[in-house]
Structure 1
Amino acid sequence: MIERYTLTATREQLQQRFGVDVPESYKSLYNAAPTHLLPVILQGSAGISFFYWGTPPEWAKNKHVSEKLINIRAESFSERPAMRKTLKRYRCLIPADGFYAWKKVGKKTLIPHRFIIADKSPISFAGIWEEFEDNEGQTHHTFMLITAQSNPLVNSMSERMPMIFEKAQEQIWMDADASEEALLALFKVYLESKMSLYTVSPRINDSTINVPSLIIATPPADQFGNLTLFD
């Protein structure tokens, strides 16, 4: 499961990369996490929207875990006919430039790593969104991140990784007239040769922290703060 990602681009960089309007309220993301209000790009939209990743915070405590979905497997769209409507009508892009995964090096020791694109350029993750009303009639918008089977680089820590798109794939994904076959053909594992990784601070575990220092390369440390040797 993918539970954290980053979008460190400035407002201007984001506008230039995706060709959309970005509100002045936008701030770089060093620790995007489930229940956070995060930027997404919808089909036919000229600007960034802000949707909750998974369940809105005020709903999270009272919802069963099955209702707190944050990821959906790419395979689901071909295996489950009911998902075809979602694939056709509710696609979105999730601007990003990296994601986190944790490597298990002991019974209780997990070392956080940040995976980035080798040239450090912004990319996007494939996503789907939904709209629903709460018990008080308030409308909420949420999104889920589509995941693929991990490439060898990521697989040592996580069996899944985000479905990563570059510009050519984004154009097809955002085309309202794209066929189901064309959309499913986009679901390919991102090449490990285009990626790199490094260890980061265990502070990433706290989803309330969102500061630039989180993405600084940090020597691996266990939960006690001691250096840990690992391959």
Structure 2
Amino acid sequence: MCGRYYRRSDKQRIAEAFHLGTLDDIPLEAAPSYNIAPTTMQPAIRNNRDTGEREMVAMRWGMVPNFAKSLADFKGFSTINAKAETLLSKPLWRVPFHRRRCLIPADGFYEWKRLDEKTKQPYAFALRSGETFAFGGVWDAWKDPATEDWLQSFSIITTDPNELTATVHDRMPVILKPSDYDRWLDRADAEQPPTDLLRPYVAAEMTAHQVDPRVGSVSNNELGLCAPWTCPPNSR
């Protein structure tokens, strides 16, 4: 599961990292955020249906499928993550995976390691290079029948852990290499989705460290949350 991530990059840095071109027509602030939680609006990158060029749009984290009658349909049912193993078998994910894939810009993600029955220690995972990267995601658009407003939303795909993340959690988000972005976003061949990219990222190219347990509260959101943290003596 990936239930929290962080992004140091603002709109300009995202545009540069993902070769988006001009930002004049992007209605999105995309300020850095160090404790990104589900249901918030976040930048996502996809190919424009008409031009085929990459575009950045604001989407809600937690996919609402186009067949939903209301947001209440998914109360108590989490769609923040989509398991790689069920993308082709479950109707909820099948069409988005074939036709609506996206990139979710990030600089790192958090996972919690259970220490005992009452205590979990959060860890931050990032690329050793320190570069902004992308989770593989799927998205959909839902029209609210009451207001006729459109809501675009996404899910982050998860897969088996690599050797590093396995020390903390049994899942990890799919992280894509820049060389695979074009193929991931391509809408031309909807019959052959890139299932070979749904693999664990190379552990040797990642880092991990403990972070302040305050990251567990979504009300905390400052730079220090993703910095290395040492547990104070006798705090457990």
Q: TM-score, normalised by structure 2?
A: 0.85
Q: What corresponds to 1:140 in structure 2?
A: 151
Among candidates 63, 70, 87, match of residue 97 of structure 2? 87
Show structure 2 runs of 5+ residues with no match.
Answer: 65-69
1:101 shift after superposition: 0.3
1:72 and 2:82 are equivalent in the alignment: yes
1:55 shift after superposition: 6.1
Query: Which shifted more, 181-190 or 137-146?
Result: 181-190
Q: What is the letter of the counterpart of residue 188 of structure 1?
A: R
Alpha carbon RMSD of aligned pairs, Å? 2.4
Q: TM-score, normalised by structure 1?
A: 0.86
Instruction: Number of aligned residue pairs: give it.
Output: 222
Q: CA separation in 2, counterparts of 1:118 and 1:152?
A: 15
SS of the residue 2:109 aligns to: strand
Q: What corresponds to 1:168 in structure 2?
A: 179
C-alpha distance 135-209 of structure 1, shift in aligned 2 (>3 A): farther
Q: What corresponds to 1:37 in structure 2?
A: 41
1:128 and 2:132 are equivalent in the alignment: no
Q: What corresponds to 1:14 in structure 2?
A: 14
Among candidates 122, 126, 137, match of residue 116 of structure 1? 126
Among candidates 203, 208, 211, match of residue 219 of structure 2? 208
Equivalent residues of 2:63, 2:140 under 8 A apart: no
Q: CA separation in 2, counterparts of 1:36 and 1:62?
A: 18
Equivalent residues of 2:99, 2:190 under 8 A apart: no
SS of the residue 1:158 aligns to: coil
Q: What corresponds to 2:60 in structure 1?
A: 52
SS of the residue 1:120 aligns to: coil
SS of the residue 2:164 aligns to: helix
Stretches (4+) displaced over 3 A: 21-24, 59-63, 78-84, 178-182, 225-228
SS of the residue 1:220 aligns to: coil
Q: CA separation in 2, counterparts of 1:71 and 1:205?
A: 18
1:16 shift after superposition: 1.1
1:134 shift after superposition: 2.5
Equivalent residues of 1:40, 1:50 under 8 A apart: yes
Q: Deviations over 1:27-64 (max 9, x none)?
A: 012111101110001123543111110168xx877843
Q: What is the letter of the counterpart of residue 152 of structure 2?
A: H
1:138 shift after superposition: 2.3
Q: What is the letter of the counterpart of residue 167 of structure 2?
A: S
Show structure 1 runs of 5+ residues with no match.
Answer: none
C-alpha distance 207-119 of structure 1, shift in aligned 2 (>3 A): same
SS of the residue 1:214 aligns to: helix
C-alpha distance 29-155 of structure 1, shift in aligned 2 (>3 A): same
1:82 shift after superposition: 7.1
Identity score, percent: 27
